Amino acid sequence: MIDRLLLARWTRLLSGLVLYGLADGLIIQAGIGVTPWDVLGQGVSLRTGLLFGLVTIGIGALVLLLWIPLRQRPGIGTLLNVLLVGAAAQVVLWLVPTPEPLLARIGLFVLGLLLLAVATGLYVGAQFGAGPRDGLMLGISRRLGWPIWGARTAVEGTVVALGWLLGGNAGIGTLAFALLIGPLCQITIPFFSLRPVVPAWVPAGEPRREDPTWQSA
Nearest partner of 190 among 213, 216, 163, 158, judged by Cα:
213
b or e along 151-188 (b: 16 or more beta carbons within 10 Å of the residue's beta carbon)?
bbeebbeebbeebbebebbbbebbebbbeebeebbeeb
CB 145 within 8 A of CB 70: no
**How far is the C-alpha of 25 from the C-alpha of 87, rounded, in Å?**
10
Q: What's this model's pTM, rounded to 2 decimal places?
A: 0.86
**Length of the chain, please?**
217
Tell me the mean pLDDT in the region 23-41: 96
Amino acid, single-letter form, for residue 190: P
pLDDT over 70 for what percent of the chain?
88
Nearest partner of 169 among 120, 98, 95, judged by Cα:
98
Residue 198 neighbours by CB distance under 10 Å: 14
- pLDDT of amino acid 195: 61
How does pLDDT run across 81-96, given as a tens digit for each residue?
Answer: 999 999 999 999 999 9
Find the helix or strand (DSSP H, E) in which 11 lies. helix 4-30
**Taking all residues of the chain, what is their mean pLDDT, rounded to a whole number?**
88
